[in-house]
Structure 1
Amino acid sequence: MKNFSSLLLLILLACTFQAKSQEKLIDRVVATVGSGIILQSDVDMQYSQYLANGGTPSDDFKCTALQQLIMTKLLSQQAAIDSIEVSEAEVDDQLNARMREMTRRAGGKERLEGFLKRSLLQYKEEMRPVLSEQMRAEKFQNTIISKITVTPQEVKKYFEGLDQDSLPAFNTEVEIGEIVIFPELTKEEKSVFRTKAEGYRQQVLNGTDFGTVARFYSEDPGSANQGGELGFAPRENYVKEFSAMAFRLKAGEISPVFETEYGFHFLQVLERRGEEVNARHILVTTKPTQASLDRIKGKIDSIYDKVNDKKMSFSSAATMYSDNKETKFNGGMVINPQSASRSTLIPVDLLEKEVFMAIDTLKEGGVSKPYQFQDPRSGKSGYKFTYLKTRIPPHKASLEQDFAKIQEAAQEDKTRRSLSEWFEKKTKNTFVHINSEFATCDELQMWMTPETNNIASTKDEE
């Protein structure tokens, strides 16, 4: 049981595709969990997925894979008892999203089908019940986790229970804010990009396959390889201009060219399903001209002068002027992307090089000179300047300086213990039979009561 608790949370990440082999020569039951069974092919497919993701050959992983499958069975069976279900639409959305990602990684539909040795349609149908069970298990586990909280007293007790001689050391951390300005193009500057999108639309109207045009010319990296297809999604998944167009058209119709914050698009609705739509689109992104960059350089210099001369606070200026929607209503402060508690303390090794260079010589409370940058996610170019609120030098973990991080660790520890208790209680009234081939797996010992081991050995001998 020593490795059990550390693996419990892996169930949230264990949504790998456990496809059943199309050419099963021999298969067998390796575990029975309540009214459900786990086949050797289930374990083998998890192992194949592990190897495909770069893992090194290891029989130990097969023990881990079977443990994850047992936990999924227990959780999904309890979900059924509690009437927790997932709809066909939810499963379809997950399947479509995963197939798009698999297709992207494989380099196209044909290459993926060659790897799978079957059509994507067949593979999706094989995966549907597997994914449905995983999603039910995850939904039920979330009902357990969502109720778990830690008080400040529990955080303090957790920290004091750690080996004080082995506390982690933290690198330099900073709290930073930023004010971002993106260029706005004039109508004339935009016309170049609109004309390009109109040209692609005309190719489609003249009979060229929409998917082919998307693969060659669309500048949306997330959908171009899929022929522009986005999969089923509700209105709120899209910016308002896109959703207004997608939900206005009938299946098969081609939209006119329209503009969003990402550039110029046109789309085709493939299918409507209630309040969800599956559409494909072609995007031409707008790119700043030198004239537009020169215009915002003057604007951001003016904002910088107000903040630097203390005529306006940084937080007020961010709220009033910044184009960064994620930070402007947070006083311009940047959230640590790896923090579950949305902490604003960020290790300096997570900063982009240009941001680190901007704050490197600043004192706390100082702001950098404006500098040009390119957003790594959207690819948009603009100007920004950075504010250094706090710099914490390298130090050994302490409750005073690192409360948020210790709170996260305490929350994870309490979650592991709560889940461990749930599984221990569940195994007392659920029959679990495991093939004796796995009897040496440390991870599986808690599932193997003496009675279970005897039954397993007897059945295997038979």
Structure 2
Amino acid sequence: MNRNLKFAFILTILLGFFGTKINAQLKPGDLVDGIAAVVGDEIILESDIEDQANYAQQQGAKISDKCEFLESIVSNKLMIYEAKRDTLIENRSAAIKENATAKYNQILGQFPDEKTMLAAYKFRTSYEMKNAIEKIDTDNYYGQMKYGRITDKADVTPNEVTDFFNTYKYQLPMVKDEVSLSQIVMNPKLTDAHKNEIIAKLNKIKSDILAGESFESQARIYSEDPGSAANGGLYKNISKGKMVKPFEAAALNLQEGELSDPVESEFGYHLIQLVKKSGKQYDARHILLKAEPNADEIASAKKELDSIRTLITTGKLTFKEAAYRFSDDKKTKFNAGIVTAEDGSDKIEKLNLPPTISYHIAGLHKGDITDVFQDETQHGKVVSIVKIDDTIDAHQMDITTDYDRIRQMALNKVKNEMVEKWVKEKLPNVFISINDRYKNCTFKTDWRKDTASR
């Protein structure tokens, strides 16, 4: 039997099974689940679309309509189907599953309790939400890897960039007000007395655990790690090299079930219990107490940074030298303090700046440096200064001032055309079926026509 016909036959049985199951359990007002589409052996359920749409919207994605979202999933599923058959693409299912749990716990840390979080994300159970995160991450990984394999040889010449600009110059977007910034960020240093206070608290927790309290309950009560506290401090299947060095060194020097002494890292102080060690992976629980500076420690850091600012403004030290010597921000200290956007550009739209930085650079000009100000990062309270390296007023995109942006747009167009060509070449050889519930959708790719001709 032809593979596509064989799979279509299996699909018919599956549809019958789902239909019987749904009708048997359906109550008035219940949402009917079922198969929305099939791509190769990748099945897309109605609930998958709903769950992924809810999660994507909560993460800031814009979804104009369900048809567009479905087509995006179908197109990606085609690349995923082919990616999983591509022996040059690594299977990362275990790592993706682990990361999905970590993401879930991280999101949970932003809410007062699990019920509130599930309601906000429109999921009924933690299993549904974790499953949705895992599916999205799986789709993203395999889709991106296949996209990279398809487009790895894409390039554009200067003449092609010019042609692209001349063709689309009246359709190119406006460039909004932008700035280029450099920064120096310092972590306030805790006094010895403050450090000893935190260590003493962890030692007390350790004593309570050794006296009979469970590590899990103590982690839920005391740990300040949003990624693991709700899960009793547990991280599973940790690969060597994934955690910060002090944590990993302490954890791997323990026997299973043994507790560490307080361990200092960039995140604070940890009490660690090794749960299990197997090959290059291990499970561990920890209780984190963040090293949050007090008012006096913050004031001391501000005074130190203000002295550094004076050295810069009087010409005794360049901003680049000061960033390298004194900044605690690993992302910028080795790059002259230069702040970059998500796409790697050093030009950042003013509207996308963090509110604190936006407030402190207001009214400043090129070359100016802010006064020392307090800020908050994922690691806690910091003090900072920011230098205005350049300001770019809003303008219509032009090849003389925005060549790199226009080149990237031209390159993206070439890549998209390569993917479209690849899809058309693959369609005749991959079984694709979209439920008739979507027969009124207008898709960019004529999936039904291509599948009907097989």
- The TM-score with structure 2 as length reference comes to 0.79
Given the superposition, is the C-alpha separation of residues 63 and 401 from structure 1 closer, same or farther in structure 2, using an over 3 Å criterion?
same
Q: 2:354 aligns with which of 348, 352, 355?
A: 352
Q: Contact (CA 8 Å) 1:174, 1:388: kept in 2 or not?
A: yes
**Unmatched 5+ residue regions in structure 2?**
1-16, 24-32
Give yes or no for contact 1:31–1:38 (8 Å, CA) kept in 2: yes
Report if the CA contact (8 A) 1:75-1:141 is conserved.
yes
In 1, Cα distance between the equivalents of 2:267 and 2:132? 37
Partner of 1:214: 219
Q: Determine whether 1:272 maps to 2:277.
A: yes
| 1:6 paired residue number | none
Task: Confirm whether residue 202 of structure 1 aligns to residue 202 of structure 2.
Answer: no
Query: What is the DSSP-based 3-state SS (H/G/I as helix, E as strand, rest coil) of the residue aligned with 1:425?
Result: helix
Q: Of the candidates 237, 241, 260, which is equivalent to residue 232 of structure 1? A: 237
Change (3 A) 1:430 1:317: same
For each residue in 1:132-185, what CA deviation from the matched residue of structure 2 results, as whole angstroms up to 9, or x when unmatched? Answer: 677545533332244434444443332222142x44223321111112222222
Q: Is the 8 A contact 1:60 1:441 kept in 2?
A: no
Are 1:397 and 2:397 matched, yes or no? yes
Residues 308 and 113 of structure 1: CA distance in aligned 2, closer, same or farther (over 3 Å): closer
Range with bigger deviation, 354-363 or 107-116:
107-116
How far off is 1:72 after superposition? 4.3
Question: Judging changes above 3 Å, is the alpha-carbon distance between structure 1 residues 155 and 227 closer, same or farther for their aligned structure 2 residues?
Answer: farther
Q: 1:192 corresponds to which residue?
A: 197
Q: Which residue among 25, 37, 40 is the counterpart of 2:22? A: 25
Amino acid at match of 2:22: L
1:53 deviates by: 6.3
Q: CA deviation at 1:242?
A: 0.6
2 CA distance for matches of 1:23 and 1:223? 41
- Asked if the contact 2:165–2:406 (Cα under 8 Å) also holds between the matched residues in 1, the reply is yes
Contact 1:108–1:226 (CA under 8 A) maintained in structure 2:
no
User: Could you list the runs of 5+ residues in structure 1 that have no partner in the other structure?
Assistant: 1-19, 456-462
**Contact 1:183 1:293 survives alignment (8 Å):** yes
**Deviations 1:92-136 (CA, angstroms, capped at 9, x unpaired):** 42443355357557865688999977784x997999899867754
2:49 matches 1:46:
yes
Displacement of 1:331 after TM fit? Answer: 0.6
What secondary structure is seen at the aligned counterpart in 1 of 2:401?
coil
Q: Equivalents in 2 of 1:179, 1:125: separation in Å?
A: 40
Distance 1:263 1:43 in 2: 44
Q: Determine the structure 1 residue equivalent to 2:381.
A: 380
Query: Could you tell me how far apart the structure 2 residues matched to 1:22 and 1:194 are?
Result: 59
| RMSD between aligned residues | 3.7
| Preserved contact between residue 103 and residue 226 of structure 1 (Cα < 8 Å) | no
Counterpart CA distance in 2 for 1:130 and 1:177 is 35
**CA shift in 2, pair 1:372/1:23, >3 Å:** farther
1:378 counterpart letter in structure 2: H
Matching of residue 449 in structure 1 with residue 446 in structure 2:
no
The answer to whether structure 1 residue 258 and structure 2 residue 260 are counterparts is no
Q: Which moved more, 1:268-277 or 1:417-426?
A: 268-277
| Residues 363, 196 of structure 1: alpha-carbon distance in 2 compared, 3 angstrom cutoff | same
2:345 alignment partner in structure 1:
343
Q: Give yes or no for the alignment of 1:331 onto 2:328.
A: no
**What is the distance in 1 between the residues matched to 2:50 and 2:400?**
44
The correspondence for 1:286, drawn from 286, 291, 299, is: 291
Distance 1:310 1:419 in 2: 53
Deviations 1:220-275 (A, max 9, x none): 22222222223333232222101101222233222111111222111122333422
The alpha-carbon deviation at position 62 of structure 1 amounts to: 4.9
| Separation of aligned partners in 1, 2:212 and 2:90 | 44
- 1:51-108 Cα shifts (integer Å, max 9, x gaps): 57669xxx99554454345434432442344324515533442443355357557865
Q: Among the aligned pairs, what percent are the same residue?
A: 27
* Counterparts in 2 of 1:158 and 1:210: CA distance versus 1, 3 Å: farther
- 1:193 and 1:182 mapped to 2: Cα distance? 17
Is contact 2:55-2:133 (8 Å) kept? Answer: no
Match for residue 419 of structure 2? 419
Residue 78 of structure 2 corresponds to 74
Matched to 1:274, the amino acid is G
Change (3 A) 1:38 1:333: closer
How far did 1:31 drift? 4.8
Q: Do the aligned residues in 2 keep the contact of 1:228 with 1:281 (CA within 8 Å)?
A: yes
* d(CA) in 2 for partners of 1:123, 1:173: 37
Q: Which amino acid aligns with 1:158?
A: F
Task: Report if aligned partners of 2:42, 2:81 keep a CA contact under 8 Å in 1.
Answer: no
Distance in 2, matches of 1:95 and 1:354, equals: 31
Q: In structure 2, what is the equivalent of residue 9 of structure 1?
A: none
The equivalences for 1:93-112 within 5 A come to: 93-100=98-105
1:449 counterpart SS class: helix
Q: Could you tell me how far 1:209 is from its partner in structure 2? A: 2.2
- Report if the CA contact (8 A) 1:343-1:404 is conserved: no
